[in-house]
Structure 1
Amino acid sequence: MQFVLPWGQFGLCLLAIGLAGPVLTRSGQAIAQLTGMSASWVGLVMLATATSLPELFTGISAVTIADAPDIAMGDALGSCIFNLVMLALLDALSRDTPVWRRIDQGHILTASFGIILISFVGALVLIARSDLNFRIGHVSVYSPLLLVLYAVAMRAAFFYERRPERITPVQDKEEVGISLKRALIRYILSASVIGATGAWLPFVGLEIAEVMGWKTSFVGTLLVAAATSLPELIVTISALRMGMADMAIGNLLGSNLFAILVIALDDLAYTQDSFFAVVSPAHAVTAFAASIMAGLCIVGLLYRPGNRFFGFLGWISLSLLAVYLLSSYAIYLYGH
């Protein structure tokens, strides 16, 4: 019975997020059509913010109530690599044309900022136990810099998407089949369900770690990260099936940027000690793996490979999958 209860709670979390995800996708598509915003921008900002709410609530509740900083850090960085390995899934689902040939090269901008931010966090995890760990009270001086870099990334993406050649025509509600007000209400309601479920996840993760005898850094990086990334998975697959591959990729890459914002907020919320100093150094492996995967994503966007092994996955997608599996095994071995 002690095994059934935490896994049952985990299943309920997955069910709630799974039901809210498709509603969020359809709402985002309607908002894009009614406002003239590009699919990439809606995916990058609106969908990424909503689908990343579980990481936000999980991280804050993990460091304030559950006192589990490794769950918070593992969830955020684990979500990054989970989001990037989803690109391999999209490639497999894109049967007619490799996904790398269906998406706009403008995503290189977001992926590049992702490498900068994620690598920065990986370095912070390693230097936090040295004399370079400058703090004001319990807060690292580097966390405000992460917030600034996130704002710079969003500003750059905004002005890039506002270029005349990237603006899409506005449709009226008769063509879309729903008003902007109704689409926004659905967006807010589905985002609220996803966020509330995310607040429950760190406690479920700790219970599972206890009954299974697993390390909390491993649980945070794989189990909780996979659960909180379920909205990205469902929204991304839904967007691809709707023929909006750019919205799908924008959601994944935007979620990675938001995950780094969450880490900075976790540092502000964790008052026990230095957040970066108490988490396992093994999280740096996850951060650098995510940076490598984002680099592979940029290669795919530029090179646009067409060959597939067994007609299923291209070499970029296979490389993403390999890095994900190796980093997961490393965090299992060396985490605490």
Structure 2
Amino acid sequence: MVVAWLQFFACMAVIAVAGPQLTRSGHAIARLSGMSQGWVGLIMLATATSLPELYTGISSVALANAPNIAMGDALGSCLFNLVMVVVLDALSRDEAVWRRVDQGHILTAGFGVILIGFVGALLLVVREGFDFRIGHVSLYSPLLLLLYVIAMRAAFHYEQRPKALAQETYEAVEGETLGRAVQQYVLAALVVAAAGAWLPFAGLALADAMGWKTSFVGTLLVAAATSIPELVVTVMALRLGSADMAIGNLLGSNLFAILVIGIDDIAYGQGSIFAAASPAHAVTAFAGSIMAGILIVALLYRPGNRFFGVISWIGLALLAVYLLSSYTIYLHGH
């Protein structure tokens, strides 16, 4: 048990150390390339911070034969990312965070509702005779990959539209170049990925030692650990004054997590991951869709009132859905 916990926390520590470097290099790339901070957060930071989910998922299904860890990690990360919005709002004391970001994030959040909800439906319908496969690969997995590409293409075209807001200006930093920023980004991303590859083995050891269900371990512990990069990068982005980069990273990571599920299914050689994983994960998926919907309401309505000057009703709603879904997966997971 002690060894399992030490391995688990060692992976978290490595990820937490590499996270700030990702943020700084992403911020530098935005300054030096002319790309918007929202786009850098959606594509570059979201991809890099989601590499633990990718490596954890593949190693879970291909090496550890733990489809519940893989599915729980991906869907649990979606919930964890949306809970981080509450942290952003609490840290954004002068003005609510949804009042500081571009409403174009509604597009990404909307695709999140579609993709996460679709996975939740698949976890249920494959048990009702709708498990269509070619070999061991579910026919739904290529559809997930296609939907991800459509979402990224839509976000890209939206980003190209003329903006009414003035272009952001940055002060030049001595000795800073685009090539150096990209090198730092790649190095930090590799460190994050390496730590994420070991997480499922520590998670399985914890589940066995503590007597926990693997679906619960995947949804809570492993998902929290693989979401450490998003947490660190998001907080750092907000402190650098880029709320758009922070929100873009979280929402982009959710889309990437669903892409990871499709890749996990291809890597899982024993059948469809949607059939092998516990149907209790559908609760997590539907909770993620509800939370993304709540965020869309926040981005449209832009409420500014807070309870005790710390948390808004949007934040309370997000927390309530997260806690209820976590308790449900603990009770009914496999």
TM-score normalised by the chain length of structure 2? 0.97
Structure 1 residue 169: deviation in Å? 6.3
Give me the whole-angstrom Cα distance separating, in 2, the residues matched to 1:249 and 1:112: 14
**For residues 168-194 of structure 1, what are the alpha-carbon distances to aligned partners after superposition, in whole Å with 9 as ceiling and x for unaligned?**
46868x446510010000000000000
Aligned mates of 1:99, 1:51 — CA distance in 2: 21
Between the aligned partners of 2:162 and 2:174, the Cα distance in structure 1 is 23
Task: Give the C-alpha shift of residue 167 in structure 1.
Answer: 8.8
RMSD: 1.3
Partner of 2:46: 48
The 8 Å contact of residues 75 and 221 in structure 1, kept in 2 or not, is answered as yes
User: Mapping of 1:308-327 within 5 angstroms?
Assistant: 308-327=306-325
- Gaps of at least 5 residues in structure 1 are none
In structure 2, the residue matched to 1:139 is 137
- Are 2:251 and 1:244 equivalent residues in the alignment? no
State the distance in 2 between where 1:171 and 1:134 align: 52
Change in 2 beyond 3 A, CA 1:65/1:106: same
TM-fit CA distance, 1:4: 1.4
Q: How does 1:113-192 map onto structure 2 within 5 Å?
A: 113-165=111-163, 168=167, 174-175=172-173, 177-192=175-190
The alpha-carbon deviation at position 11 of structure 1 amounts to 1.1
Off by >6 Å, runs of 4+ in structure 1? 169-172
State the distance in 1 between where 2:76 and 2:179 align.
Answer: 35
Match of 1:102 among 100, 103, 106: 100
Q: So what's the TM-score if we normalise by structure 1?
A: 0.97
Q: Map 1:182-261 to 2 at 5 A.
A: 182-261=180-259
Aligned to 2:88: 90
Determine the structure 2 residue equivalent to 1:332.
330
Q: Any idea what the Cα deviations from partners look like across 1:257-299, whole Å, max 9, x if unmatched? A: 0000000000101011221101000000000000000000000
Q: Report the more deviating stretch, 14-23 or 176-185.
A: 176-185
The structural deviation recorded for 1:164 is: 2.8
Aligned-partner SS, 2:35: coil
Match of 2:302 in 1: 304
Aligned residue for 1:272? Answer: 270
Distance 1:30 1:329 in 2: 41
Deviation at 1:333, TM superposition (A): 0.3
Distance 1:222 1:302 in 2: 30
User: 3-state DSSP class of the match of 2:128?
Assistant: coil
Match of 1:34 in 2: 32
Identity %: 70
Partners of 1:237 and 1:195 lie apart in 2 by: 20
Question: In 1, Cα distance between the equivalents of 2:167 and 2:79?
Answer: 31
Structure 1 segment 3-22 matched on structure 2, within 5 A: 3-22=1-20
Q: Which residue of the partner structure matches residue 64 of structure 1?
A: 62
CA spacing shift, 1:310–1:171, aligned 2, 3 Å: closer
Question: Quick one: distance in 2 between partners of 1:169 and 1:39?
Answer: 9
Residue 58 of structure 1, CA deviation:
0.2
How many residues were matched structurally? 333
Q: Is the 8 A contact 1:161 1:167 kept in 2?
A: no
- Counterpart AA for 2:120: G
State the one-letter code of the partner of 2:117: S
